[in-house]
Amino acid sequence: MSFLIVVPILAPSLAAVLALVGGWRRWTAALTVLSAVAVLGSGIALGVQTAARPHLAASGLLRVDALSVIMLVVIGVVGTLATWASIGYLDAELEHGHTDRHDARLYGALTPAFLAAMAVAVSANNIGIIWVAVEATTVITAFLVGHRRTRTALEATWKYVVICSVGIAVAFLGTVMLYFAARHAGPAGASALNLDVLLARASHLDPAVTRLAAGLLLVGYGAKVGLVPFHGWLADAHSQAPAPVSAMLSGVLLSVAFSVLIRLRPIIDAAVGPGFLRSGLLTVGLATVLIAALLLSVVTDLKRMLAYSSMENMGLIAIAAAAGTRLAIAALLLHVLAHGIGKTVLFLAGGQLQAAHDSTAIADITAVLSRSRLVGVSFAVGVIVLLGLPPFAMFASEVSIARSLADAGLAWALGIALLLMVVAFAALVANARRILLGAPTVGAPRIAAPATVATALVAGVLACIVLGVTAGPLAGWFGAAAGQLGAG
């Protein structure tokens, strides 16, 4: 059982080492895909194990509960689709001279390392290790964002590194403050960083110190999530990163960072009461949805549009977390999974549109449905998922979030959020219509997808459909996670 807990970390770590040594080869790429499948498989297996007990532990350093299981499944699903698509994507990059063997080796090694770092972040029992893992994702993905080494890619990389490093430094101060409060509440040494110890002693933490720690943690990890005011990196990084990397950034990394906040919330609420973090989450959540809706209304770039959509969804998740009810937490976790798969499909399809047009300007891309049935249908399904329309799972998650906000006495926040979401909805529909419909222009380039990208798109679309019509079996995981996080 202990071995099963470390599989999501060891499998991609081994794949990263072999890719670094062996370079970009078919077998190293296949091992990376298998490592992502191992993360998914072990996540599901751990979900079965945790059904009979609150959590599983390994050596006191790792602790897997229902929240960990859900996040490992998201990492595994998005990672499998993205790494499989990466094979065809990187082969095309090499063929067209957009990258070389050295950079391909680096890409092949960093991608599974990224998966391993995220697995640590959602499985660690120590808030210090969690912080290190989240910081590691910044270092790893910085090289992936700047993979093409163009001027704009390097500018986006530095912007990403600077903003996220400031955020993670603030989160470090919050971690230190929480450790300080725990030390003065009784636990000695490094054990004061353990989640188990912090949860047990939460009611004894100094409220003033914990309140300061909570504010720092919200701002710090919020920067990594792409919440206002540290959201400036998000669109630049997503627009310049390779399409499979953008899929992992948007589809899972943002949610992994947010999972840290909801994991720490029971500790903070027990020390200072639920009102403090609720107010903070509600404020940054609404502000983030507002800014995202406004940016979506004026965006002219495809990948930036998808990035702003991710920003909007992270804001909505923060608003749901503010409600804090069992229904709200379960709904936001379903939203995380549905958004992760849908956004992965969109970025992978968008990558093929970028390759065909050598541009991501929305004005340059039109009539995709009539030029490529596969890419067009995949993109259309992804957009419908993001719009929260039935039968897809984000319809159920958004309705449940709305209901939970009303039940929690936050009808005013629900009204504001709905108004802003209508603005975002209209902007997405207008841009999607421009991209998908219309008559192809004379001399429009052919849109083709490598075999691995094509199969990843098909698998992603099928996953969206399956999750939409059969999410019921996962309800136990979502409910268990909500209960373990102290939701009422």
Per-residue pLDDT tens digits for 367-410 = 999 889 999 999 999 999 999 999 999 999 999 999 999 999 99
pLDDT of 488 reads: 59
Q: What is the pLDDT of residue 1?
A: 54
Total number of domains constituting the chain: 1
> 326 and 479 in contact (C-beta within 8 Å)?
yes
pTM score above 0.85: yes
Q: What is the pLDDT of residue 487?
A: 63
Q: What is the 3-state secondary structure (H, E, C) of the chain?
A: CHHHHHHHHHHHHHHHHHHHHHCCCHHHHHHHHHHHHHHHHHHHHHHHHHCCCCEEEECCCEEEEHHHHHHHHHHHHHHHHHHHHHHHHHHHHHHCCCCCHHHHHHHHHHHHHHHHHHHHHHHECEHHHHHHHHHHHHHHHHHHHCCCCCHHHHHHHHHHHHHHHHHHHHHHHHHHHHHHHHHCCCCCHHHHHEHHHHHHHHHHCCHHHHHHHHHHHHHHHHHHHCCCCCCHHHHHHHHHCCHHHHHHHHHHHHHHHHHHHHHHHHHHHHHHCHHHHHHHHHHHHHHHHHHHHHHHHHCCEHHHHHHHHHHHHHHHHHHHHHHCCHHHHHHHHHHHHHHHHHHHHHHHHHHHHHHHHCCCEHHHCCCHHHHCHHHHHHHHHHHHHHCCCCCCHHHHHHHHHHHHHHHCCCHHHHHHHHHHHHHHHHHHHHHHHHHHCCCCCCCCCCCCCCHHHHHHHHHHHHHHHHHHHHCHHHHHHHHHHHHHCCCC
pLDDT of residue 107: 95
pLDDT digits (tens, 9 = 90+) for 331-374: 999 999 999 999 999 999 999 999 998 889 999 999 999 889 99
User: Per residue in 126-144, pLDDT tens?
Assistant: 999 999 999 999 999 999 9
Q: Within the chain, which residues score under 50 in pLDDT?
A: none
Per-residue pLDDT, 188 = 61
- CA-closest candidate to residue 29, choices 119, 94, 75: 94
Give residue 470's pLDDT.
Answer: 84
Q: Which domain holds residue 24?
A: 1-485
pLDDT at 99: 82
